[in-house]
């Protein structure tokens, strides 16, 4: 399949899924995850009109960012080590993996030095798998309260990953719990500006994620493909 065909197919699935649950496709934003592909294929993705690109490691993103940086809006979606923060701030407008206070401190330190504004998703380990990164759901309220100290970081949403190797349906309760957590945080007034976004759903389970309220889906293999495709 060509990139154009994959995009058309994803757009159609998004539209059909939204229609099924009475949502507008405009509420669902797509991050094209380019971590599996080269600079050239990433350039083709931008040529197709997609602007939001996701990468999970700075080392993998670097050549693409250096060649194409100004053409896209970059999302850091992987675990972020504090010593990589200085590479990421100023290049990635969105961080989907804010999962600890020490990371927030370092992001703030780097962002304030250059007066850059970062949009962040707090990553939550809803599934409870020990191997998963993200904070425990019960700690998110206090964490968001502490984020007031960091004026260069704006918490716009929550992010989660479904359990590995599970089918799409078994991801549903995980996605649902993330939505319920967001609604609960907003009902309790966790921050002045309500938390709007849910970053959840990947190639294997994005339709279920949309049904459960995803506003950002992160699509690699189904949309961008792999290098050999």
Ligand X SMILES: *Cc1c(COP(=O)(O)O)cnc(C)c1O
The residues that touch ligand X, with contacts defined as CB under 6 A, are 33, 35, 56, 77-78, 202-204, 218-222
Output 96 or 152, the one with its CB closest to ligand X.
Answer: 96
Q: In the complex with ligand X, which residue's Cβ is closer, 162 or 190?
A: 162
Cβ neighbours around 11 below 10 Å, total: 14
CB of 71 to ligand X, least distance (A): 20
Smallest distance, ligand X to C-beta of residue 193, A: 25
Angle made by CA atoms 61, 124, 26, in degrees to the nearest 5: 70
Give min distance, CB of 161 to ligand X, in A: 6
CA distances from 200 to 82, 114, 129, 172 (A): 23, 30, 16, 11
3-state secondary structure of 60: helix
**Shortest Cβ distance from residue 205 to ligand X (Å)?**
8
Report the nearest approach of ligand X to the CB of residue 54 (Å).
7
CB-nearer residue toward ligand X: 6 or 35: 35
CA 218/CA 125 separation, integer angstroms: 17
Q: Which is nearer to ligand X, 51 or 109 (CB)?
A: 51
CB of 160 closer than 8 Å to CB of 134: yes
Q: Which residues contact 31 (CB under 8 A, 6 or more apart)?
A: 52, 53, 54, 75, 77, 199, 216, 217, 218, 219
Residue facing ligand X at closest CB distance? 220
Q: 2 or 149: whose CB is closer to ligand X?
A: 2
Closest CB to ligand X among 56 and 190? 56
How many CB atoms within 10 Å of residue 135? 17
Q: How far apart are CB 53 and ligand X at their closest, in Å?
A: 12
- Say whether 68 sits in a helix, a strand or coil: helix
Q: What angle do CA 138, 143, 149 make, to 5 degrees?
A: 165
Cβ 202 to ligand X, closest distance in Å? 4
Question: With respect to ligand X, which residue has the nearer C-beta, 6 or 152?
Answer: 6
Question: Which one, of 154, 139, 229, 138, lies nearest residue 191 by Cα?
Answer: 154
């Amino acid at each position: 399949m060509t990139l154009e065909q994959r995009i058309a197919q994803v757009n159609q699935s998004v539209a059909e899924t939204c229609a099924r649950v009475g949502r507008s496709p405009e509420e669902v934003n797509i991050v094209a995850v380019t971590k599996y592909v080269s600079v050239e294929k990433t350039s083709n993705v931008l040529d197709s009109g997609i602007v939001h690109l996701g990468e999970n490691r700075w080392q993998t993103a670097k050549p693409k960012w250096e060649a194409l940086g100004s053409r896209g809006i970059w999302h850091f979606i992987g675990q972020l080590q504090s010593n990589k923060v200085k590479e990421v701030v100023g290049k990635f407008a969105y961080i989907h993996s804010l999962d600890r206070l020490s990371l927030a401190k370092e992001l703030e330190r780097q962002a304030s030095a250059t007066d850059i504004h970062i949009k962040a998703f707090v990553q939550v380990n809803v599934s409870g798998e020990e191997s998963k990164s993200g904070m425990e759901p019960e700690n998110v309220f206090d964490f968001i309260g502490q984020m007031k100290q960091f004026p260069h970081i704006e918490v716009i949403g929550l992010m989660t990953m479904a359990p590995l190797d599970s089918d799409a349906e078994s991801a549903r309760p995980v996605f649902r719990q993330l939505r319920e957590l967001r609604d609960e945080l907003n009902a309790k007034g966790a921050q002045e500006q309500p938390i709007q976004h849910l970053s959840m759903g990947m190639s294997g389970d994005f339709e279920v994620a949309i049904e459960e309220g995803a506003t950002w889906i992160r699509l690699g293999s189904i949309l961008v493909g792999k290098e050999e495709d």
